[in-house]
Amino acid sequence: MPNTYALHQALFSFSGDAWIEDASGDRVFEVDGKAFALGRTLDLLDRNGTVLYTLHERVLSFRPTFEISRDGSTVATLQKALLAFLGDRFTITLADGSELEGKGNFVDHEFTISRGDSIVATASRAWFSMHDTYGVQVADDFDDPLALAIVIAIEQLESEEDRANRVSPFPDGGGLPG
């Protein structure tokens, strides 16, 4: 049976600090954002404060990219597809060379991460009645913290793109006349 977690929208604040609860409502992971790091850097911590994974956004990259590392070694590289005709897609390359694919409606937190035909994680806002919370289910045969780190990286890239695409209400893109 898949493990279910609750992620809170506060995760995408300026610093990125937040917590993740299990199906029982216990805080099992914490996200610690590094507000002053070059590029976006987040640590996924267990309940004892031990860093499980570090997520770091590459600053000078042709495509939006996050690297996920453990103990200083990259375990996954997540990149947004340049061309996606039916919604956004992400390619996640694992350290062993295998690939995962993220696809769905990322803005509404309704997406899956799959390895071939097998779904390794599903994110959905529909599982919770609170607007600022959405759930993530992780398949039994996949590393839960790594799946959560991938979901967080996708969310970071999507929220960053959303902020960049907001249109100014002013025709010239500027603010009020001075």
Q: pLDDT for 113-144, tens place per residue? A: 999 999 999 988 765 555 567 789 999 999 99
* Residue 158 pLDDT: 79
Q: Residue 90's beta-bridge partner residues? A: 80, 102
Contact at 8 Å (CB) between 34 and 43? yes
Q: Which of 85, 66, 83 is nearest to 75 (CA)?
A: 66
Structure-token pair, residue 95: 């350290």
Average pLDDT (18-22) is 87
State the Cα–Cα distance between residues 73 and 115, nearest whole angstrom. Answer: 22
DSSP class of residue 166 equals P
* Residue 36 pLDDT: 57
pLDDT digits (tens, 9 = 90+) for 3-19: 999 987 654 455 556 78
Backbone angles phi and psi of 113, in degrees to 5: -120, 125
* Residue 177 pLDDT: 43
For the chain, list the domains and their CATH numbers: 3-163 (2.40.160.200)
